[in-house]
Every structure is written in structure tokens, then in C-alpha cells.
Chains A and B, each alone.
Chain A
């Protein structure tokens, strides 16, 4: 089971990076990068998981029941919201490249001129 959980995180990371490497379109590349980032969320939550435990929210029952780790959840949820703006920044760069060179193919975007 731990091989499956950590292996899926590693697989999704490598697949995202591979998709970004063979990409022919900058927008496709940005979404592949977001997939690679989501593998870290799966890894963090898989690390913090405890068998037969509940969510770390204790409204209505006492806080001595077994719960999963709250620190990794705090890291993950701030990261998800912030990654939207970072992907938006990458997409804005792609739009800017399209304005300048009329293409979003990374192979056709050669170095800067002037």
C-alpha cells in the first residue's frame, strides 16, 4: 500500500515533467507543470495519513480521538490556492510571447532580438 501511494506520487510527477518536456504549446506546458505540482499534494497527504483516523477537526467530539496530521494539510491548502496565481503568471508570459512572435510553440520561439 505504501508502494502504491508513494509510487503514484512519483509517477504523476515524472509524467508531468515528461509532458512539459515534449510539449509543443506553452499553454499545454503550463497545465503539465500544474499536474507535476499536484503530485506533491498527494505525497504530502499520503505522508500524514494515519490508519483509522479522522479529520483533524474537533467540532462536536473530544480531541483525544485519533486524527491525521494537520500540518501537512495546512501546507497543502495554501499551496493549492497560490499555485493558481503562479500558473496564471506562466500563462501571462505565454500570452506575451504570442503578442511578440505570433506563436506559442516553444520550438519556434528563438532568442530575443533587439
Chain B
């Protein structure tokens, strides 16, 4: 793992910036939480490339289970 993943950092950073822009400018909360899942998975790969497996593990489970659960329940509850 040492020194073989360096060329991946720049494209991943640019993709993360684009995904974050997509999350902020999403039209409705439902679309936003789907794009947020994509952004979270991009961040997991970025954290692995930055040689931080602990951080990647916690971000993975938080962004695939915890965030969608609470946000989807909130969307359902506030639907008119």
C-alpha cells in the first residue's frame, strides 16, 4: 500500500468537490440524501487513499446506515 496510490488523490479530491456541490444544490431532500450517499462513499475511498483505515470504517457505516435512516424518517414525517 505504500506509494502506489498517490496518483488517485487528485481525481478523488475533484470528484468529492463536485459531489459536495451536488449535495448542496439538490432540489429536494430525497434527492439530496441519495447524492449524499454517493458523496459519503467517495469520501470513504479518499480516506483509504489518505492511509486512514479507521476513519474510512467509521465514515462508511455512518454514511450508509445512520444518515439515510434518520433523514428518510424525517422526510417521511414532514411530508404533507
Give me the interface of A with B, judged by CB distance under 8 Å.
1, 4-5, 8, 11-12, 15-16, 18-19, 25, 27-28, 30-32, 34-35, 38-39, 41-42, 45-46, 49, 51-57, 65, 67-68, 73, 76-77, 80-81, 83-84, 87-88, 91, 94-95, 98, 102, 104
**Cβ A31 vs Cβ B51 within 8 A:** no
**Cβ A55 vs Cβ B1 within 8 A:** yes
**Cβ B50 vs Cβ A95 within 8 A:** no
CB neighbours (8 Å) of B46 from chain A are: 42
Main secondary structure of the interface of A (DSSP, over half): helix
**Cβ B55 vs Cβ A77 within 8 A:** yes
CB neighbours (8 Å) of A84 from chain B are: 62, 66-67, 70
**Cβ A35 vs Cβ B75 within 8 A:** no
Number of CB contacts from chain A to chain B under 8 A:
129
CB neighbours (8 Å) of B51 from chain A are: 49, 53-56, 67-68
- How far is B23's CA from A16's CA once the two chains are assembled, in angstroms? 8
- How far is B33's CA from A32's CA once the two chains are assembled, in angstroms? 10
Question: In this assembly, does B59 line the interface, its C-beta being within 8 Å of a C-beta of chain A?
Answer: yes
The size bracket of the interface on B is 35 or more
CB neighbours (8 Å) of A8 from chain B are: 13-14, 16-17
- How far is B9's CA from A49's CA once the two chains are assembled, in angstroms? 11
- How far is B2's CA from A29's CA once the two chains are assembled, in angstroms? 39
- How far is B18's CA from A11's CA once the two chains are assembled, in angstroms? 10
CB neighbours (8 Å) of A32 from chain B are: 23-24
**Cβ B55 vs Cβ A16 within 8 A:** no
**Cβ B71 vs Cβ A39 within 8 A:** no
Q: A27-B75, A31-B29 are in contact. Are A19 and B70 (CB under 8 A)?
A: no
CB neighbours (8 Å) of B75 from chain A are: 27
CB neighbours (8 Å) of A76 from chain B are: 52, 55
